[in-house]
Structure 1
Amino acid sequence: MNNSRIDLLENAPVKTAIIKLALPTMLAMAVQLIYNLTDLFFIGKTGDPRLIAAISLASPIMMIIQAIGNIFATGTSSYISRVMGAKKYDEAKRANSVAFYTMFFSGLAITVLLYVIRGPLLSVIGTSSDTINPTSDYFTIITAFSIASIFQIGLSGLVRSEGATTHAMKGMVIGIGLNIILDPIFILVLHMGTAGAALATGIGNSVGAIYFIAYFLSKKSILSIKISDFKPSKIIYSETFKIGIPAALSSLAMSISMILVNVLAVAYGDYVVAGNGIHIRVMSMCIMLIMGLAQGFQPFAGYNFGSKAYHRLKEGFLITLLYSTLLALFFTLVFGFFGNALIGFFINDAQTIQAGTQILHAFNWCVPFLGIQLTMMVTFIATGMALKAMIVSLGRQCLIYLPLLFILNAVFGFSGFIYAQPIADITTTIISVLMSISFLKDLNEKNKIEITKNKSLPI
């Protein structure tokens, strides 16, 4: 079974390999998407926009917790794929074990820290007198499940790094499926509100994490989480953090952006906070499926970069770029024609629907370009190009977006508030295209060098 995974990465037709790797990852993302929308749907059925606003306000905290898992889901997994491509399987086992135990202790630390600063943090993230209590309920329970949240994100990436995208999908589906089942029970039957949503999330993440742990302890995996393989080294941590920190900074930047957006949105009313929260979940339909496609390509890119099969990497990159762009164009049409209906599906409140639809239609101007951005970002992560990955990621979330947000909001009010993100995304796309041209030229040069080397070898 392990040999079949290696053969898929190394020898299978490129289009076949991309499809086989991407479909399970996209399915896992689709299930995650269903969870996100189901969670929002049942909270919306309470008829209280304040509860939706509360989850929107607390979501950045959840993202900060998940960012820790993302360090290893991207950084360590990129390193593992590359060392496996170089046939260094013992190093891959050590890297996986180091990531596992580091995530565990990091989860303990973040749990304690968030409880200590809970009071001041709730004040900073933009809560009002109407949203402080439901936001606090969600925050408290989500924090208690920090380790499970980190493992759910981090371990799925590590499983994916060895090409086992089907098992990565299964772990996500099991955890999220349980979450979906528990949501209506806790929210509508037991009337637990945001606390019920958080508890369903925590239990689902815990069960998903248990699946991944069982997978690594079985003989199905090439990798290891044995304590005997926990041998921290400078190279493992440096390679993990070189790629993982930019990825975590992306999540952190997104969290900071969401907090600042919510703080500005409060000035327009809690219904704008709620409408923006619904818009984010609806927009995730596009972003998560494209990211699922790109993440399926990630182990292929890392492995072939590590094995110096640059021609396969280039072909896979172009195929993934094409598919992701077509997917983005499809969602552009969906949001353009059905935006109002999509927002209205989740809540029956006229002001919230109007605000959410306006934000969604403004954001839709940049949707066609998301495939380029996300494919480039994941490709740079897979090939160890940390700085380029960080430029793409932080550009749209922080470096370009935040200055535009404050300037346009101050000058144009609500219109500036909603159009800052699409302008930042289009600008980031231009930068991504320029870097992709440079990336392809570099691959061509490296491929020529490899061809020359192979010709000079004795037969």
Structure 2
Amino acid sequence: MENTETTSRNDLGTAPVQRLFFRFYVPSLISMASIAAHQVINGIILGQQVGKEALGAIGLYTPVLLLFIAFVLSIMIGGGILFARHVGGNRPAEARQVFEVATTLVLGVSTVVALSAPWVTGPLVNWLAAGQPPILVQYTTEFTYWSLLFTPFFLIRVLWGGFLSNDNAPGVTKNATVLAAILNIVLDLILVVVFPYGVAGAAIATGLALLVAVVYLAVGIERRKGHLSLRRFRLGLRFAEWPELFRLGFPSFVSEISVAFGFFLINRSLLPYGALALSAFGVVNLLSNLFLRLFTAAMLAIQPIMAYNIGARQPHRVLETLRFALLFTFTVGVGVYLIGFFGADLLINVVSGDESDEFKQVATRAIMLSFVLFVATGPNYVLVMYIQIIGQATLSTLTNVIRGFLLIALLLLVLPEPLGMHLNGVWLARPLAEVFLLLGLGLFLWYRRDRFFSDDTILRTRS
């Protein structure tokens, strides 16, 4: 584990920005890669041992999971920005209070969810799996019940991992995530393969792995002796900075909800094109979720660096971080697009195995068009996070709604039928939404650069 002897708490304000970026980027990417690996292996185990209905049950629970993720990310990002500002401004007491209040809120909400699981599972499943076969309803009920029971461990693991990264300890977060992923796979083998507990066993395996991760994070917090502390921890919700926490975190909540609506619209638009199009969309989604982690990690990497230097009143380092992250994500995005354009056939063979030539033709076209997304999505992530960090919550929220939902809805109305692009128009809706947003947002910010990139604007966000 990291400690203050090996890692200076203050080098966020002095070390080269590029080195700091990769210190946070690499652990974030490893964490996400371990989660992705676990999800793939978990899906293989359940699909082989239980059947496709088990995967369907997990899919039906996804909207609930996305709601929890939206909630905890809003607290993690908003609280993390406030925490890092206070650390950068040498206000350790205020920083610890942010951690205590955020933990109290998330722990309180998640505990209510867990305790209510015996009573809410039935009505919730009736809504999630209405009209589905009995076996799918049964699996959904089992997965939902156990997932709700373990909600506190899931949310606290995400929250504490974010705060540790903001306390200059991304390695602890990475280790906890990798440990949880490995343990989850082992427990899946025990509770699904050796002891055939099926979907319930998979949910219990995940919950126990999250519990171990939370314990690991707790030990890491105490051993580091950083700005976070559990020994002096006090539950409480009395907090003068509630408005600022919600203002900074709300754009992240809106982003997750908007993206969910956008995916729903694309899925609905694909229905008239049949099962092949829907299956191809599944391949595109799987690949997109894997490659998008390259850019999500960059977004998470810049947040503690920028927020700390705002608190330390060093706006030039904030802008230096922004410039480097924009160049890095654009370069990586072009590389990923070229992989999709020239290697679509190989990607399809890797994720879908032996399929018909007709399906491969549809999926190849889908990948070649959909991967345009990656040229713009990384810079968009970075710009939106920058806007959020400097306190422009209204613009950040509006941007997330536009990119995640409104532009996609407009393009789905225009491209497929009015412009005669049909299925190609559906594939291009999300990528073009990202491209148009990058062009529009970039031009707007450049036109108003005196407002958005000035020292006064950046430092005015200091609390």
Aligned to 2:41: 38
CA contact (8 A) 1:45 1:346 kept: no
2:125 partner amino acid:
G
Aligned to 1:59: 62
Aligned to 2:96: 93
In the superposition, relative to structure 1, how do residues 110 and 329 fare at CA in structure 2: closer, same or farther (>3 Å)?
Answer: farther
Indicate the SS of the match to 1:5: coil
Could you state the TM-score of these two structures normalised by the residue count of structure 2?
0.84
1:115 partner amino acid:
T
1:373 to 360, 380, 401: 380
How far apart, in 2, do the equivalents of 1:343 and 1:102 lie?
43
Aligned to 2:27: 24
Query: Unpaired segments of 5 or more residues in structure 2?
Result: none
2:124 partner amino acid:
R
1:122 partner amino acid:
L
Q: For residues 28-57 of structure 1, give each alpha carbon's deviation from its aligned partner in whole angstroms, at most 9, with x where no partner exists.
A: 222223223333444565696555455444
Aligned to 2:396: 389
1:121 partner amino acid:
W
CA contact (8 A) 2:28 2:170 kept: yes
1:328 partner amino acid:
G
How far has the Cα of 1:307 moved from its partner?
1.9
Aligned to 2:165: 160
How far apart, in 2, do the equivalents of 1:438 and 1:171 lie?
43
CA contact (8 A) 1:179 1:204 kept: yes
Aligned to 1:244: 249
2:20 partner amino acid:
A
Aligned to 1:422: 431
Aligned to 1:398: 405
How far has the Cα of 1:326 moved from its partner?
1.6
Structure 1 window deviating more from structure 2 (343-352 vs 204-213): it is: 343-352
In the superposition, relative to structure 1, how do residues 387 and 216 fare at CA in structure 2: closer, same or farther (>3 Å)?
Answer: same
CA contact (8 A) 1:50 1:270 kept: no
How far has the Cα of 1:79 moved from its partner?
0.6
How far apart, in 2, do the equivalents of 1:116 and 1:212 lie?
33
Aligned to 2:125: 119
Q: For residues 105-134 of structure 1, give each alpha carbon's deviation from its aligned partner in whole angstroms, at most 9, with x where no partner exists.
A: 11133443752641343147x967885554
How far apart, in 1, do the equivalents of 2:54 and 2:349 lie?
16
Alignment of 1:363 with 2:366, yes or no, is no
In the superposition, relative to structure 1, how do residues 445 and 375 fare at CA in structure 2: closer, same or farther (>3 Å)?
Answer: closer
The count of aligned residue pairs is: 449
Question: Percent of aligned positions with the same letter in both sequences?
Answer: 20
How far apart, in 2, do the equivalents of 1:446 and 1:87 lie?
20
How far apart, in 1, do the equivalents of 2:81 and 2:260 lie?
23
2:64 partner amino acid:
I
2:439 partner amino acid:
I
How far apart, in 2, do the equivalents of 1:140 and 1:268 lie?
35
Structure 1 window deviating more from structure 2 (176-185 vs 246-255): it is: 176-185
How far has the Cα of 1:257 moved from its partner?
3.6
How far has the Cα of 1:69 moved from its partner?
1.6
Aligned to 1:9: 12
How far has the Cα of 1:94 moved from its partner?
0.7
Q: For residues 49-70 of structure 1, give each alpha carbon's deviation from its aligned partner in whole angstroms, at most 9, with x where no partner exists.
A: 5554554443232121222221
Report matched runs for 1:174-193 at 5 Å: 174-186=179-191
2:146 to 141, 144, 152: 141
In the superposition, relative to structure 1, how do residues 119 and 228 fare at CA in structure 2: closer, same or farther (>3 Å)?
Answer: closer
1:12 partner amino acid:
A
CA contact (8 A) 2:104 2:236 kept: no
1:77 to 55, 80, 92: 80
1:200 to 205, 224, 227: 205
In the superposition, relative to structure 1, how do residues 359 and 107 fare at CA in structure 2: closer, same or farther (>3 Å)?
Answer: farther
Aligned to 1:431: 440
In the superposition, relative to structure 1, how do residues 182 and 272 fare at CA in structure 2: closer, same or farther (>3 Å)?
Answer: farther
Aligned to 1:454: none
How far has the Cα of 1:377 moved from its partner?
2.1
1:316 to 299, 312, 321: 321
Could you state the TM-score of these two structures normalised by the residue count of structure 1?
0.84
In the superposition, relative to structure 1, how do residues 355 and 97 fare at CA in structure 2: closer, same or farther (>3 Å)?
Answer: farther
Q: For residues 174-225 of structure 1, give each alpha carbon's deviation from its aligned partner in whole angstroms, at most 9, with x where no partner exists.
A: 1122223334555555566554543433332222222223333445331234
How far has the Cα of 1:302 moved from its partner?
0.5
How far apart, in 1, do the equivalents of 2:222 and 2:127 lie?
38
Structure 1 window deviating more from structure 2 (46-55 vs 356-365): it is: 46-55
CA contact (8 A) 1:215 1:221 kept: no
In the superposition, relative to structure 1, how do residues 227 and 163 fare at CA in structure 2: closer, same or farther (>3 Å)?
Answer: closer
1:418 partner amino acid:
W
1:29 partner amino acid:
M
Indicate the SS of the match to 2:454: helix
In the superposition, relative to structure 1, how do residues 58 and 409 fare at CA in structure 2: closer, same or farther (>3 Å)?
Answer: farther
1:386 partner amino acid:
A
CA contact (8 A) 2:248 2:391 kept: yes
How far has the Cα of 1:324 moved from its partner?
1.4
1:72 partner amino acid:
I
How far apart, in 2, do the equivalents of 1:135 and 1:116 lie?
10
Aligned to 1:453: none
Structure 1 window deviating more from structure 2 (194-203 vs 347-356): it is: 347-356
1:92 partner amino acid:
A
How far apart, in 2, do the equivalents of 1:75 and 1:449 lie?
16
How far has the Cα of 1:146 moved from its partner?
1.5
How far has the Cα of 1:339 moved from its partner?
3.0
Q: For residues 292-341 of structure 1, give each alpha carbon's deviation from its aligned partner in whole angstroms, at most 9, with x where no partner exists.
A: 12211211100112222111111111111111112212211222233343
Indicate the SS of the match to 2:343: helix
How far apart, in 2, do the equivalents of 1:337 and 1:189 lie?
42
Alignment of 1:446 with 2:455, yes or no, is yes
Indicate the SS of the match to 2:109: helix
Query: Unpaired segments of 5 or more residues in structure 1?
Result: 451-459
CA contact (8 A) 1:347 1:353 kept: no
In the superposition, relative to structure 1, how do residues 440 and 187 fare at CA in structure 2: closer, same or farther (>3 Å)?
Answer: farther
How far has the Cα of 1:282 moved from its partner?
1.7
CA contact (8 A) 1:373 1:392 kept: no
RMSD of aligned Cα (Å): 3.4
Structure 1 window deviating more from structure 2 (153-162 vs 433-442): it is: 433-442
